[in-house]
């Protein structure tokens, strides 16, 4: 009888030899399993495990990407709904006549007929030396660092305001007016 371990076949936890019942009462040797696999069988089993892992990893990755896209899309929807609500609020405001008049006053400086407008003007606006556009700055007579030191060492003297500037800015013919809707 042939009792060689590689030629034996295994059946329900006992070793059965090829010739009938020889060796029926013996148990499996401990640790027998992966040790008795040939290198080709081990390689095939490893490739099978890798194939199974590959078939699971690709769909799981696609699932995770789709969930991320779904979350980004939901966030975009919420952001766009907020923007839509904001734009609808602006539409309601601009359909109100009082709001339009207020914006014309603030943004364009328009006044209603019969109102007296006041405009505050900085007196130093007209006091600077006038130069034509494209005209270059005159060359400084001193070095730049001396001019800089002089500008911070001595405080500037306040210029006397020109009384003609205020009269010109508040004259009735220079102030813009809100058009009267009844005249149209």
pLDDT of residue 108: 87
pLDDT digits (tens, 9 = 90+) for 123-138: 777 655 555 555 666 6
Q: How far apart are CA 15 and CA 1, in angstroms?
A: 13
Exposure pattern of 57-70 as b/e (b: 16+ CB <10 Å)?
eeeeeeeeeeeeee
Question: What percentage of residues in the chain have a pLDDT greater than 70?
Answer: 61
Q: How far apart are CA 19 and CA 42, in angstroms?
A: 29
Q: What six digits make up the tokens of 44?
A: 């095939």
pLDDT of residue 173: 64
Most confidently predicted of 72-81, 101-110, 147-156 = 72-81
pLDDT of residue 135: 61
pLDDT of residue 73: 96
Backbone torsion region of residue 167, taken as left when φ is above 0, otherwise alpha when ψ lies between -120 and 50, otherwise beta: alpha
pLDDT of residue 63: 93
pLDDT of residue 95: 92
Exposure pattern of 1-21 as b/e (b: 16+ CB <10 Å)?
eeeeeeebeeeeeebbbeeee
pLDDT digits (tens, 9 = 90+) for 3-36: 555 555 555 555 544 555 455 555 555 555 566 8
Write down the domain spans for the chain: 57-111
Mean pLDDT, rounded, for 159-176: 63
pLDDT digits (tens, 9 = 90+) for 90-115: 999 999 999 998 988 888 888 888 88
Q: Enumerate residues 6+ apart whose C-beta is below 8 A from 13.
A: 27, 28
pLDDT at 170 over 80: no
Q: How far apart are CA 86 and CA 91, in angstroms?
A: 9
Write out the chain in H/E/C secondary structure: CCCCCCCCEEECCEEECCCCCCCCCCECCCCCCHHHCCHHHHHHHHHHHHHHHHHHHHHHHHHHHHHHHHHHHHHHHHHHHHHHHHHHHHHHHHCCHHHHHHHHHHHHCCECCCCCCCCCCCCCCCCCCCCCCCCCCCCCCCCHHHHHHHHHHCCCCCCCCCHHHHHHHCCHHHCCECCCHHHC
């Amino acid at each position: 009888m042939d009792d060689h371990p590689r030629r034996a076949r295994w059946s329900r936890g006992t070793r059965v030899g090829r010739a009938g019942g020889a060796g029926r009462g013996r148990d499996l040797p401990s640790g027998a399993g992966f040790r008795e696999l040939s290198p080709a069988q081990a390689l095939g089993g490893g490739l099978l495990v890798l194939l199974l892992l590959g078939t699971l990893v690709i769909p799981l990755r696609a699932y995770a990407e789709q969930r991320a896209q779904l979350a980004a899309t939901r966030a975009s929807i919420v952001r766009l709904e907020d923007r839509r609500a904001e734009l609808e609020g602006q539409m309601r405001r601009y359909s109100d006549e009082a709001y339009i008049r207020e914006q014309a006053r603030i943004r364009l400086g328009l006044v209603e007929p019969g109102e007296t407008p006041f405009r505050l003007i900085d007196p130093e606006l007209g006091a600077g030396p006038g130069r034509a556009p494209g005209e270059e700055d005159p060359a400084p007579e001193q070095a730049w660092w001396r001019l800089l030191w002089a500008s911070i060492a001595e405080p500037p003297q306040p210029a006397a305001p020109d009384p003609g500037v205020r009269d010109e800015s508040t004259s009735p013919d220079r102030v813009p007016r809100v058009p009267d809707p009844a005249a149209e």
